[in-house]
């Protein structure tokens, strides 16, 4: 009988968590003696609709991958038996057996705001190494940055009220739920319903009860009493199983130790106002109202604009899937290749997909109040009074960067949001943040284009 497979990743599988063509290209490079040092840059070509900025996330998982990637004997046997590799020599598979990433990586710290075309991560390594790692890097940073950005918009709309990540059950699988919980926290969420994420990442866990708890008891009032008996100091009750206003009265009967009530359906604006009246009539001004149920930043914004007395929001599906912008188009492009010790520019000329050559840096200009003014994409060592965003995080295959705690990353993201002027972070009709190329980069691009067009 077949044994079920979990399909959870293990460190032994990291080498083959990639696209097949990365391995065929790697074999081709090896067979033709191509071991030049190459530089690839990760950036987002265009921001998704309804996004005026991106919060970077996922770097820590990228660093773990780069320092642990290996090809197990089983993985090598699998690759060797594929028909496409039938003419590849034994030396390549011996190379895979000893494979380890040995390159350098520069990256924008997690929680930093970036914009279209700005390099987020730069890999300089032997061409085979730099090629193989592309897929994992893209997948990790694209996903977590997408969710962190969505979460930051939800938190911004909440005007200082707590946002709880309720999304694991609606995420695209358990692993995605864990990564989404991390990204949501970076984006500003206060807590998560995901117990593993809370355990592994030190995110505060949170939750109330489900409708099933209420339904298994003879009546709602009894279900509330029983829950309070078990959790006398942490009682937050779901009150919309049968009738929300009746549920609010049953919850109020618990007394002054009641901490909160949650409304998960119906007209949240009107219900929250009526529930607040019921609680206040019982001198329970301290009891918090939590709202949930298909919430997103625009719905939260509308609720608060209209005076909903809601104290916190539980947000799930819309946030952990970034439902309105579910894919982030980050790309990983070759920009430079060393040949005989000299940098050779690499670029694409494709219409609408033009790339700029050479190693680059992002320089951020700020005003006297430390608000962001505009960014310049330039060559890596241009001088000036702007702040360079990319820092070295890996040197010679080893991490050379003090990994920040997740709370520090969240603080960085929240600080970045504060420093981004209001016109560029509005939920609707945000202005485009100014990003331009430096004169030196434009000149190098023109030179490289002339050279490469002559040779092609």
In this prediction the pTM is 0.96
CA gap 240, 261 in Å, rounded: 10
* Confidence class for position 352, pLDDT limits 50, 70, 90: confident
CA gap 363, 100 in Å, rounded: 32
The pLDDT of residue 332: 98
DSSP 8-state assignment for residue 148: H
CA gap 320, 180 in Å, rounded: 6
Average pLDDT for 239-252: 98
The pLDDT of residue 454: 79
pLDDT, tens only, 389-413: 999 999 999 999 999 999 999 999 9
Task: At 118, list the tokens.
Answer: 């700005």
* Chain mean pLDDT for the chain: 97
Please state the φ and ψ torsions of residue 320, each to the nearest 5 degrees. -80, -10
Cβ-based neighbours of 231, under 8 Å, separated by 6 or more: none
Higher pLDDT, 350 or 160: 160
Is residue 228 within 8 Å of residue 257, measured between CB atoms? yes
Give yes or no for residue 342 having a pLDDT over 70.
yes
The pLDDT of residue 382: 92
CA Rg value for the chain: 26
Q: Which run of H or E residues covers position 373?
A: strand 372-379
CATH number of 11-147+325-455, picked from 3.40.640.10, 3.40.50.1700, 1.50.10.20, 3.20.140.10? 3.20.140.10
Give yes or no for residue 456 having a pLDDT over 70.
no
The pLDDT of residue 14: 96
Query: Domain residues of the chain, as ranges?
Result: 11-147+325-455, 153-318
Can you spell out the DSSP letters for 368-434? TT--EEEEEEEETT--SSSEE--EEEEETTEE-S-PPPHHHHHHHHHHHHHHS-GGGT-SSSPPPPP
Average pLDDT for 264-276: 98
CA gap 143, 164 in Å, rounded: 19
The pLDDT of residue 423: 98
Give yes or no for residue 271 having a pLDDT over 90.
yes
Structural fold of domain 153-318: TIM Barrel (3.20.20)
Please state the φ and ψ torsions of residue 201, each to the nearest 5 degrees. -115, 0
Q: Which run of H or E residues covers position 332?
A: strand 330-339
């Amino acid at each position: 009988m077949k044994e079920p497979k979990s399909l959870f990743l293990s460190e032994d599988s990291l080498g083959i968590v990639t696209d097949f063509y990365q391995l065929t290209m790697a074999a081709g490079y090896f067979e033709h003696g191509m071991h030049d040092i190459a530089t690839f840059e990760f950036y987002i070509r265009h921001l998704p609709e309804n996004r005026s900025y991106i919060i970077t996330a996922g770097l820590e998982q990228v660093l773990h991958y780069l320092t642990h990637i290996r090809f197990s004997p089983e993985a090598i046997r699998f690759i060797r038996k594929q028909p496409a590799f039938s003419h590849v020599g034994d030396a390549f598979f011996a190379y895979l057996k000893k494979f380890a990433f040995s390159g350098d990586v520069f990256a924008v710290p997690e929680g930093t705001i970036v914009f279209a075309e700005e390099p987020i991560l730069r890999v300089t390594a032997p061409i085979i190494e730099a090629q193989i790692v592309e897929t994992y890097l893209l997948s990790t940073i694209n996903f977590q940055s997408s969710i962190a950005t969505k979460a930051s918009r939800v938190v911004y709309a909440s005007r200082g009220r707590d946002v709880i990540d309720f999304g694991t059950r609606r995420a695209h699988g358990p692993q995605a739920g864990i990564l989404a919980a991390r990204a949501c926290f970076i984006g500003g969420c206060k807590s998560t319903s995901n117990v593993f994420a809370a355990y592994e990442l030190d995110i505060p866990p949170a939750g109330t009860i489900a409708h099933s708890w209420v339904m298994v008891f003879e009546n709602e009032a009894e279900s509330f009493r029983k829950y309070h008996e078990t959790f006398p100091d942490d009682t937050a009750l779901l009150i919309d199983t049968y009738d929300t206003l009746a549920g609010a009265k049953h919850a109020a009967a618990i007394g002054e130790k009641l901490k909160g009530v949650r409304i998960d359906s119906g007209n949240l604006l009107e219900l929250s106002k009526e529930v607040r009246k019921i609680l206040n009539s019982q001198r329970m001004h301290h009891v918090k109202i939590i709202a949930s149920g298909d919430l997103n930043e625009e719905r939260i914004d509308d609720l608060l604009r209209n005076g909903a007395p809601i104290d916190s929001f539980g947000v799930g599906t819309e946030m952990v899937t970034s439902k309105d912008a579910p894919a982030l188009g980050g790309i990983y492009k070759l920009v430079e290749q060393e040949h005989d010790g000299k940098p050779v520019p690499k670029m694409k000329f494709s219409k609408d997909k033009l790339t700029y050559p050479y190693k680059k840096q992002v320089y951020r200009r700020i005003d006297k109040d430390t608000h962001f003014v505009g960014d310049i994409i330039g060559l890596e060592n241009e001088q000036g009074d702007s702040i360079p965003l990319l820092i070295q995080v890996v040197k010679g295959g080893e991490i050379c960067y003090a990994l920040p705690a997740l709370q520090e990353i969240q603080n960085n993201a929240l600080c970045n949001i504060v420093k981004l002027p209001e016109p560029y972070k509005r939920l609707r009709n945000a202005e485009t943040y100014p990003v331009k190329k430096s004169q030196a980069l434009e000149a190098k691009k023109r030179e490289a284009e002339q050279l490469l067009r002559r040779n092609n």
